[in-house]
Amino acid sequence: MSHFAYRGNKLFAEDVALDRLAAEFGTPTYVYSSASLIENFSSYAAACSKHGRSENDALVCYSVKSNSNLAVLSLLGKQGSGFDIVSGGELLRVLAAGGDPSKVIFSGVGKSRDEMRLALTHDILCFNVESIPELHRLNEVAAEMHKQAPVSLRVNPDVDAKTHPYISTGLKDNKFGIAFSEAIETYKVAHNLKNLRVVGIDCHIGSQLLDDAPLLEALDKVIELVDELHQAGIELHHLDIGGGIGITYDDEKPVKVGDYLSRLFTRIDAWRAEKYQGKPITVLFEPGRSIVGNAGVLLTEIQYLKHGATKNFAVVDAAMNDLMRPAMYEAWHGVQPVLQRDIAGQTYDVVGPVCESGDWLARERALAIEQGDLLAIMSAGAYGMTMASNYNTRGRAAEVLIDGDKIMLVRKREMPADLFALESIPD
Ligand code: LLP
């Protein structure tokens, strides 16, 4: 059930009319629904417990990059979520939000020494390492700190995720992960480094996957490696299958999280029963979009309706700097007028004020709108605010979290002076 729905002719977020939020906080503003976040997180948690997994045997590590607002992190942390981070900055966010560092995994191809030190100081659950040089650097940093760094290797299972090439990560020629054919040798290197402790294996093959077949294929490849490592005397504590489950932006029908997890756990259980006398292995997930994507909209006001020679434009006050996905991936987002009008519709391109032809949010949409109306750009909870920039010296949008009829401003709008506060003019 969507928590963004019309009541009468007005679009609501849970029990709050969106026009009220525009009046109170201005536009553009991201609006998130707590109920939706909790429901989406619960679909993972419920599937884990249905398959007999306690928090120790299955952990959902929410992918912070998809939406890193402290309020979102705090809410998910309270639901029991762990966190998948890709920078020291994200770790500091998780800590500021009261997240538990012992449930944090650190992914990414380019971890700096400082980031490693920070993560080791907070005793995170695991580093997802992506190369041999990274193993050596982590070993050195851990040695300096008289610690042992828990390590998982991100392997590249070379499966086709069948998604947009920019968000596909599991193929041989991607920059991500360790080649499947080199995985065992790399594990041996890690195993022999004194200040590393090998604890897991991980992969992430891409994002916005509609079908779970590529994920289950990746699982089979990972299982093969776990068995080979077992034979080589290297025992793993966990297996991390990454994130990637897609959402409905338009009419896509993504696999249901519960169905995917059922198939995954069934395979894992059969494998453990056959080869390890049923001894369990902890399973980790790194979902982002499937938790926050449809829990957020971007609220914007129409500045002008411009009727061109061949096209009509609705020029709104949100732009590519607020929501980069259309410009970057030609991504499709639904557009809903906050007020449904009883007038004839026309076809519009919804565009922003930024000086780039690529600055569009939606194309060729039938909309019954007037100048000054509000629009909701749908499914904008994931990779919306986190990818926002200050291009054209535009302050980033405000963020509001709704819980029933409760309204919480969870990030103030950035003001122009904030944008040049760190700059200076040389004497
Ligand atoms: N784990 C790793 C290692 C990742 O790289 C990602 C996303 C995730 C987990 C979470 O994936 P999800 O469950 O959200 O699919 N900006 C693009 C998406 C980039 C995804 C990057 N990695 C977009 O707007 O579509």
pLDDT at res. 308: 85
Same domain, 258 and 341: no
167 lines ligand 1 (CB under 6 A): yes
CATH of the domain at 360: 2.40.37.10
Same domain, 99 and 165: yes
CB-CB contact of 390 with 418 (8 Å): no
Domain closes at, from 269, 292, 315: 292
333 lines ligand 1 (CB under 6 A): no
Same domain, 234 and 305: no
CB-CB contact of 325 with 331 (8 Å): yes
Same domain, 266 and 316: no
Q: Whose CA is nearest to atom 5 of ligand 1?
A: 204
Distance 83 CA to ligand 1 centre (A): 13
Q: Reduced to 3 states, what is the DSSP secondary structure of residue 58?
A: strand
Cα–Cα separations (whole angstroms), residue 296 to 28, 266, 332, 377: 13, 32, 15, 9
CB-CB contact of 97 with 163 (8 Å): no
Ligand 1 pocket test: which of 169, 204, 261 has the largest number of ligand atoms within 8 Å of its C-beta? 204
Same domain, 192 and 53: yes
207 lines ligand 1 (CB under 6 A): yes
Q: Tokens 């590519």 — which residue? A: 320
pLDDT at res. 145: 98
Determine, yes or no, domain membership for 73.
yes
pLDDT at res. 184: 97
Ligand 1 nearest atom to the CA of residue 206, by list position:
15
Q: Reduced to 3 states, what is the DSSP secondary structure of residue 1?
A: coil
Cα dihedral 185→225→238→53 (10° resolution): 180
Domain closes at, from 292, 325, 358: 292
Determine, yes or no, domain membership for 228.
yes
Domain closes at, from 244, 272, 292: 292
Distance CA 381, CA 41 (A): 14
pLDDT at res. 166: 67
CATH of the domain at 232: 3.20.20.10
Determine, yes or no, domain membership for 177.
yes
Q: Closest Cα to residue 102, out of 87, 86, 91, 115?
A: 91
Burial of 63 (0-12, 13-18, 19+ CB in 10 A): buried
Domain count within the chain? 2
Ligand 1 nearest atom to the CA of residue 287, by list position:
13
Q: What is the pLDDT of residues 190-205, one digit of tens each?
A: 999 999 999 999 999 9
Distance 232 CA to ligand 1 centre (A): 32
pTM: 0.97
Ligand 1 nearest atom to the CA of residue 244, by list position:
15
pLDDT at res. 160: 81
287 lines ligand 1 (CB under 6 A): yes
CB-CB contact of 117 with 145 (8 Å): yes
CB-CB contact of 60 with 46 (8 Å): no
Q: How many CA atoms lie within 13 A of 271 on its CB side?
A: 18
Same domain, 274 and 329: no
Distance 204 CA to ligand 1 centre (A): 9
Distance CA 371, CA 377 (A): 16
Same domain, 269 and 377: no
Determine, yes or no, domain membership for 427.
no
Which residues, 6 or more positions from 424, have their beta carbon under 8 angstroms from its beta carbon?
none
Determine, yes or no, domain membership for 425.
no
> What type of residue is 298?
L
Distance CA 60, CA 262 (A): 15
pLDDT at res. 168: 65
User: Would you write out the chain's pLDDT as a tens digit for each of its 427 residues?
Assistant: 799 999 999 999 999 999 999 999 999 999 999 999 999 999 999 999 999 998 889 999 999 999 999 999 999 999 999 999 999 999 999 999 999 999 999 999 999 999 999 999 999 999 999 999 999 999 999 999 999 999 999 999 989 877 776 666 666 677 789 999 999 999 999 999 999 999 999 999 999 999 999 999 999 999 999 999 999 999 999 999 999 999 999 999 999 999 999 999 999 999 999 999 999 999 999 999 999 999 999 999 999 999 988 999 999 999 999 999 999 999 999 999 999 999 999 999 999 999 999 999 999 999 999 999 999 999 999 999 999 999 999 999 999 999 999 999 999 999 999 999 999 999 9
Same domain, 288 and 301: no
| Cβ neighbours of 211 (radius 10 Å) | 16
Distance 243 CA to ligand 1 centre (A): 7
Distance 72 CA to ligand 1 centre (A): 17
pLDDT at res. 55: 82
Determine, yes or no, domain membership for 263.
yes
Same domain, 159 and 251: yes
pLDDT at res. 170: 61
Distance 387 CA to ligand 1 centre (A): 12
Same domain, 249 and 232: yes
- Note down the domain range covering 340: 4-32+294-419
Ligand 1 pocket test: which of 40, 62, 66, 332 has the largest number of ligand atoms within 8 Å of its C-beta? 66
Determine, yes or no, domain membership for 426.
no
pLDDT at res. 277: 96
Ligand 1 nearest atom to the CA of residue 288, by list position:
14
- DSSP β-ladder status, 4-7 and 10-13: antiparallel
Which active-site residues does the annotation give? 355
Q: What is the pLDDT of residues 285-332, one digit of tens each?
A: 999 999 999 999 999 999 999 998 899 999 999 999 999 999 999 999
CB-CB contact of 381 with 67 (8 Å): yes
Same domain, 247 and 183: yes
Ligand 1 pocket test: which of 65, 202, 249 has the largest number of ligand atoms within 8 Å of its C-beta? 65
170 lines ligand 1 (CB under 6 A): no
- Asked if omega into 214 is within 30° of 0 (cis), the reply is no
Same domain, 157 and 101: yes
